[in-house]
Amino acid sequence: MPKRLTSLLALGSLVTTSCVIGATPAWAGSGSGPAAPVRVRLDAPDTPNLAGPGQLAVTVFSTPELDATGLDPASVRLGRGDGGDPGRGVDVARWVGGAVLTGVTDVDSDGRDDLRLYFDKEALRAGGHLGATSTELAISGRLRDGRPVGGSDAVAPQVVLEVKFSEASVVRGADGNLRSDRGRDLTGVRAVLNRYDAVELAPLLPEQSGAQLARLTSMAASRSGRPAPDMASWYHLTLPAGADPAAVLKDLHALPEVAWAYPAPEPAPPPAAPATPDFTSMQGYQRPAPQGVDADFARQDPRARGAGVRIVDLEYDWNPFHEDLQLDWSSDLGGTQYPRNTSFADEHGTAVFGELVAEENAYGVTGGVPDASMFGISPMQRQSSGQASYRPAAAMTYVGQFLSPGDAVLIEQQTVGPNGGTRYVPAEWTQSVFDATRLLTQLGVVVVATGGNGGENLDAPEFQGRFDRTVRDSGAIVVGAGSSTNRSRLNFSVYGSRVDVQGWGQNITTTGSNGNLQGGTSAANRDIRYTRSFGGTSGAGPIVTGAVVAVQSYLKATGRPVWTAAQLSSLLKSTGTPQGGDVGQRIGPLPDIRAALQSVGSAAPTTAGTR
């Protein structure tokens, strides 16, 4: 029975992509106590250098039982393993621009990809996680399915400096056999080495390569007509972990025989994969009217970018780890009580999230209201039997406790109407969903409902007036799907007097979906997947929700009360760009955020309340 019910209310999308299996996050709890961490095999540097900046590379190995690439880098902490709490450690380092500093490669050549993570040494030292007495480093974190992981590896820190002796001294040899082939007195050098209990002083290049190096130096000087650097004068100095790098460097710099001295350089991670291009020019739905809703204008005003407003998407699944979303599973309000349904894949929800809150950066796409707080909840409710049943009204009611007046709920669901088959209509055709919508509306929450892709006339007799506001009115703003070129109704979109406004129902560029703009269907590209063809009333709904949230955040920022759904619906209809094509098949105008904000700034709303 649950399977049949699930088929009755399907996603309001035209495209279903491949399935990605997930699980309920462990943080949500199930009443049986916290799960024991999954132990991972870890490789930290054997002798981390305590001198200077740089990144400490740590490898988490994949095993037959565990895919290390399933670890969520944003959840990982590296800290003391010798009696410390790695959960209080430092985060994975990030590239300029915010992307986490990671790599995926088969480090141990066993045919399985391993995860390489990089941590800032200075942060580790400042936090007391890496020092002279450190004997172990440990990580804690979570897999993308929510399971906790942990692992540790032994370390023996040391201090390593890079030193160049003056070329005039022609210093050669190593350790106790250090000498100057020019007869310079090296007593001061030996005194500093003894003072700090030097472990090793070794030439950068092995002495057996000296003859070859001499030839290369001679050739370079001859070809250039200038003296060539003497690479044989470069040394690495290794000192005990307890040595003070600053004091050692000060004493070395005071010696006339020393030309250079500084912390030995660290191996840097390879460049990140080619950066995702900037696709924002393809987001026509955000351009000024009449083409789009002019989210571009709203984002220029910090008061209209969504700050202070929560959005909840009633969605089967989504990928919060997408590079352009940078969320985590705290975005899931349902936890184990409303487990995500992975059978439809996460790409639908990822696309919706991207339209709304994709980060404003130099790559990918940008959401209409990137400063809004974005959440999702699954319509699947877990029963006492352990099975999950499709209960969207329960999920909608549940989220009411997390929301305040002015927040928004987007219903990314549709249901089969009186004509059966795939003649999908708004989810509120189901009375429980209608009631839950009405409850949220009365709480001051603005509900935006996708109209459905069944091509139905909601004013037809078989609908029994259930989409006639004089008969019943949930208060939701119902959204139809319009053409990206002339705002005419797309043939799959529902229509009728109950449809308030439209959004683009085609050619939407956003995160996730089918990856036909970047990433394709490869699982490895899940976090960098973009589409140029998201659509349906599913794609239209977030466009309208973005307009609603832009106005609400502006009202909040200017110290005015937020508006009701009825007031906002009236505003968007009165200021929007008129529908094109056959206006007898009503899907309403396309919102114009610029015009709406200008109206808000100059006049009070013209309607109030809900019939």
Residue 296 shares a structural domain with residue 229: no
Predicted confidence (pLDDT) at residue 534 exceeds the cutoff of 90: yes
Residue 12's pLDDT band, with cuts at 50, 70 and 90, is: very low
Predicted confidence (pLDDT) at residue 607 exceeds the cutoff of 60: no
Residue 314 confidence (pLDDT): 96
Q: Is residue 200 part of a domain?
A: yes
Whether residue 57 contacts residue 42, with contact meaning beta carbons closer than 8 Å, is answered with no
Q: What angle do CA 266, 270, 275 make, to 5 degrees?
A: 140
Residue 22's pLDDT band, with cuts at 50, 70 and 90, is: very low
CB atoms within 10 A of CB 505: 31
Residue 190 shares a structural domain with residue 309: no
Q: Is residue 427 part of a domain?
A: yes
Residue 233 shares a structural domain with residue 306: no
Residue 225 shares a structural domain with residue 298: no
The pair of structure tokens assigned to 470 is 């004089």
**Mind listing the pLDDT tens digit for each residue in 282-330?**
999 999 999 999 999 999 999 999 999 999 999 999 999 999 999 999 9
Segment 324-349 mean pLDDT: 92
Among the candidates 209, 240, 271, a domain finishes at 240
Segment 501-529 mean pLDDT: 93
Predicted confidence (pLDDT) at residue 118 exceeds the cutoff of 60: yes
**Mind listing the pLDDT tens digit for each residue in 475-498?**
999 999 999 999 999 999 999 999
Predicted confidence (pLDDT) at residue 508 exceeds the cutoff of 90: yes
Residue 502 confidence (pLDDT): 98
Residue 387 shares a structural domain with residue 500: yes
Segment 582-592 mean pLDDT: 97
* CA distance between the termini of the chain: 36
The H or E element containing residue 3 is: helix 2-8
Residue 194 shares a structural domain with residue 324: no
Residue 108's pLDDT band, with cuts at 50, 70 and 90, is: confident
d(CA 55, CA 266): 7
Residue 4 confidence (pLDDT): 29
Total domain count, the chain: 2
d(CA 450, CA 534): 14
Residue 449's pLDDT band, with cuts at 50, 70 and 90, is: very high
Segment 51-68 mean pLDDT: 91
Segment 434-449 mean pLDDT: 95
Alpha carbon 99 to its chain centroid, in Å, reads 9
The H or E element containing residue 602 is: helix 593-602
Instruction: Report the half-sphere exposure of 50 (CA within 13 A, side-chain side).
Output: 24
- Judged by average pLDDT, the poorest of 41-50, 211-220, 238-247, 367-376 is 211-220
Residue entry with tokens 């139905």:
456
- Buried/exposed 124-155: b ≥16 CB within 10 Å, e otherwise: bbebebbeeebebbbbbbbbbebbbbbbbbeb
d(CA 339, CA 383): 11
Residue 421's pLDDT band, with cuts at 50, 70 and 90, is: confident
Q: Is residue 559 part of a domain?
A: yes
Among the candidates 215, 240, 265, a domain finishes at 240
Mean pLDDT for the chain overall: 88
Residue 337 confidence (pLDDT): 92
| DSSP three-state, residue 411 | strand
Residue 505 shares a structural domain with residue 579: yes
Residue 414 shares a structural domain with residue 552: yes
Whether residue 334 contacts residue 401, with contact meaning beta carbons closer than 8 Å, is answered with no
Predicted confidence (pLDDT) at residue 90 exceeds the cutoff of 60: yes
Residue 130 confidence (pLDDT): 95
Predicted confidence (pLDDT) at residue 506 exceeds the cutoff of 90: yes
Q: What angle do CA 610, 595, 324 make, to 5 degrees?
A: 90
The pair of structure tokens assigned to 118 is 């990089």
d(CA 218, CA 32): 74
- Judged by average pLDDT, the poorest of 30-34, 327-331, 356-360 is 30-34
Nearest Cα to Cα of residue 272 among 457, 103, 473:
103
Residue 355 shares a structural domain with residue 481: yes
The pLDDT > 70 percentage for the chain reads 90
CATH of the domain at 524: 3.40.50.200
Q: Is residue 52 part of a domain?
A: no
Q: Is residue 340 part of a domain?
A: yes
Residue 87 confidence (pLDDT): 67
d(CA 43, CA 29): 30
d(CA 448, CA 248): 66
- In 477-567 the beta strands, taken as DSSP E runs, fall at 477-482, 501-504, 508-511, 530-534
**Mind listing the pLDDT tens digit for each residue in 133-151?**
999 999 999 998 889 999 9
Q: Is residue 465 part of a domain?
A: yes
Residue 186: which domain range? Answer: 159-240
Residue 266 confidence (pLDDT): 79
**Mind listing the pLDDT tens digit for each residue in 268-282?**
776 665 678 999 999
Among the candidates 240, 271, 296, a domain finishes at 240
d(CA 367, CA 354): 6
Q: Counting Cβ atoms within 10 Å, is residue 483 exposed (0-12), middle (13-18) or buried (19+)? A: buried
Its sign, for the CA torsion 508, 511, 513, 514, is positive
When comparing pLDDT for 209 and 433, which is higher?
433
Residue entry with tokens 């045919």:
111
Helices (H) and strands (E) in the chain, counts: 12, 27
The H or E element containing residue 216 is: helix 210-224
**What does 66-130 look like in DSSP terms, one character per residue?**
B-GGGB-GGG-EEEE-SSS-GGGSEEPPB-TTS-B-EEEE-TT-SSS-EEEEEEEHHHHHHTTSS
Residue 297 shares a structural domain with residue 214: no
CB atoms within 10 A of CB 69: 18
Q: What is the pTM of this model?
A: 0.71
- Judged by average pLDDT, the poorest of 111-120, 324-333, 351-360, 442-451 is 111-120
d(CA 150, CA 91): 14
Predicted confidence (pLDDT) at residue 579 exceeds the cutoff of 90: yes
Whether residue 261 contacts residue 159, with contact meaning beta carbons closer than 8 Å, is answered with no
Residue 206 shares a structural domain with residue 312: no
Q: Counting Cβ atoms within 10 Å, is residue 97 exposed (0-12), middle (13-18) or buried (19+)? A: exposed
Residue 572 shares a structural domain with residue 462: yes
d(CA 571, CA 544): 12
Task: Write the CB contacts of 349 (distance below 8 Å, at least 6 apart in sequence).
Answer: 313, 315, 316, 317, 318, 319, 376, 412, 512
Q: Is residue 78 part of a domain?
A: no
Q: Is residue 20 part of a domain?
A: no
